[in-house]
Amino acid sequence: MIDIRLVREGPDRVKASLARRGVPSGDVDRVVDLDVEHRTCLAEREALRAQVKALSRQVGEARKAADTARADMLAAESRRLGGQERSIGREADRLADALRQALLELPNLPSEEAPDGGGPDDNVELRRWWPGIDDGAPAPEPADHQRVPHWEVGEALGILDMARGARLAGSMFALYAGAGARLVRALTAFALDRHTDTYVEIRPPTLVLSETMTSTGHLPKFGDDAYHVERDDLWAIPTAEVPLTSLRRGEILAEDELPVRCTAVTACFRREAGAAGRDTRGLLRVHEFEKVELFAYATAEQAPAVHADILERAEGILRALGLHYRVLDLCAGDLGGSSARTFDLEVYAPGCDRWLEVSSVSWFRDYQARRANVRYRPGGGGAPVLVHTLNGSGLAWPRVWAALVETGRQPDGSVRFPECLAPYLGPDLVVVPPAGSASKR
């Protein structure tokens, strides 16, 4: 969450910044009002506490002087004020909870470098890449045999079965088979091998506590999009970002430990509650998927370089796979709630004729660390300082899988996978249609 001191010292600046995200000024006014009420209550409680303490001292003096009447009168007044203090204290606690809740619901302040805009149409395309671009080759025009959607290709080859996935778990759950399942495993191993030169591999739990979800900003605002195991009050993680952000929750790191870099592969679970009827064919939008995550704690000074490194690593995988992709600088109105600055990577899937998001590379500044209470002690001394958190997918596989299958489709209906996956898939990188089947196109 944002620093309450920013709201106290410059509410108009906070309003102007959050207005870029479409946040009404009244949401900030509510925080200001609750903060004033809370601090007023605290001051009243402290004043009453001081009076009670003074009266207790006077009661002792009166009893020592054998002035029983005065001691009883002062004791009665002390009890009355003590009751007021407890009542004010309960109101202060209520206001503190309300203030925290209001702060939890405010999104992060967007970076000044993030483009202005209200939604996806206002995102700024920074660059595109395709095989051969370094040689000056023009952007590729998909061949007719590549213009077949992956769900048709996968069914024809027997490597993707959405119908059986739905039979097992409901709609928008995928079942990969044979070479399709091996492809997911190969992509995961390939990515981890590229990242673990610098990033420590972690295997976190996929079920986490509510406070772990709150640390990243997924709760309370996005609870409807997550899977909740109510009996145990545990949440299925929507991304490895959730447990990694809380990896050092409540701890104080040494400055020379930073940046701390981690990578993890996990299953990810998302209800996609707002996506009914939208992009639900094949792997365009699924409830469960595997993703390799890159995550870092850093100082404010280290954060830009770490952000650039995560983006470069995600792009490097797409280049190695030979996929046509573009980089978008997300406008303020399209940023995730916790992010100050985000770059999205989208691959082009010729069968769908769509750009598909496969990674969001985000810098959260100290917004998440304030919730998780992760700090570092400056090497030069002084009070502990909140870390900055950064993360990005490196990568999420369903849409990469879709783009690889569509891009790699051959005229005879087979699919050829990239050479870089040979150490993980074996030398035969071509998946051919089953005997007796005929290519649809």
Query: What confidence tens digit (pLDDT) does each residue in 333-375 have?
Result: 999 999 999 999 999 999 999 999 999 999 999 999 999 999 9
Q: Which of 70, 105, 140 is the last residue of a domain?
A: 105
* Alpha carbon distance 34, 246 (integer Å): 28
**pLDDT score recorded for residue 73:** 94
Q: Which DSSP string do the residues of 128-180 spell out, in sequence order?
A: EE-TTGGGTPPPPPPPGGG-S-HHHHHHHHTSB-HHHHHHHH-TT---B-THH
285 and 408 both lie in a single domain = yes
Give a yes or no: residue 274 inside a domain.
Answer: yes
97 and 148 belong to one structural domain: no
Of 174, 389, 416, whose CA–CA distance to 296 is shortest?
Answer: 389
Which H or E element spans position 263?
strand 260-269
Q: Is 374 exposed, middle or buried (0-12, 13-18, 19+ CB in 10 A)?
A: buried
> Is 438 part of any domain?
no
Q: Is residue 377 part of a domain?
A: yes
In terms of domains, do 166 and 266 share one? Answer: yes
Q: Would you say residue 439 has pLDDT above 60?
A: no
Are 244 and 311 in a shared domain? yes
Question: pLDDT tens digits for 152-168?
Answer: 999 999 999 999 999 99
Return the higher-pLDDT residue of 427 and 233.
233
Residues 272 and 393 in one domain: yes
Q: pLDDT, tens digit, for every residue of 72-93?
A: 999 999 999 999 999 999 999 9
What whole-number distance in Å separates Cα of residue 2 and Cα of residue 337?
11
Q: Is the pLDDT of residue 57 over 60?
A: yes
What is the percent of the chain where pLDDT is above 70? 97
> How far is the C-alpha of 211 from the C-alpha of 246, rounded, in Å?
9
Q: Do 93 and 126 share a domain, yes or no?
A: no
Contact by Cβ (8 Å): 414, 433? yes
Are the beta carbons of 2 and 108 closer than 8 angstroms?
yes
When pLDDT is cut at 50, 70 and 90, the band that residue 272 belongs to is confident
Q: Establish if 112 belongs to a structural domain.
A: no
* Residue where the block lists tokens 């447990």: 243
One domain for residues 305 and 425: yes
Neighbour count for residue 42 (Cβ, 10 Å)? 15
Judgement on whether residues 183 and 275 belong to the same structural domain of the protein:
yes
Q: What is the CATH number of the domain that holds 83?
A: 1.10.287.40
The stretches of 283-390 forming alpha helices (DSSP H) are: 303-320, 367-372
Would 252 be classed as within a structural domain?
yes
Domain boundary, last residue among 75, 105, 135: 105
Three-class secondary structure of residue 391 per DSSP? strand
The residue with greater pLDDT, 134 or 83, is 83
Split into its structural domains, the chain has a count of: 2
Tokens 């969450």: give the residue: 1
* Structural domain range at position 271: 120-431
User: Do 329 and 255 fall into the same domain?
Assistant: yes
In a domain, 324, yes or no: yes
The band of 277, judged by pLDDT with boundaries at 50, 70 and 90, is low
Sign of the CA dihedral with 51 first, then 45, 211, and 293 last: negative
The two structure tokens encoding residue 198: 């610098």
Residue 99 forms part of a structural domain: yes
**Domain finish residue from 77, 105, 133:** 105
Same domain? 314 vs 427: yes
Residues 191 and 142 in one domain: yes
Report how far residue 184's alpha carbon sits from residue 151's, in angstroms, rounded to the nearest whole number: 15
> In CATH, what number is assigned to the domain containing residue 274?
3.30.930.10
pLDDT, position 426: 84
Check whether residue 101 and residue 137 sit in a common domain: no
The verdict on residue 168 lying in a domain is yes
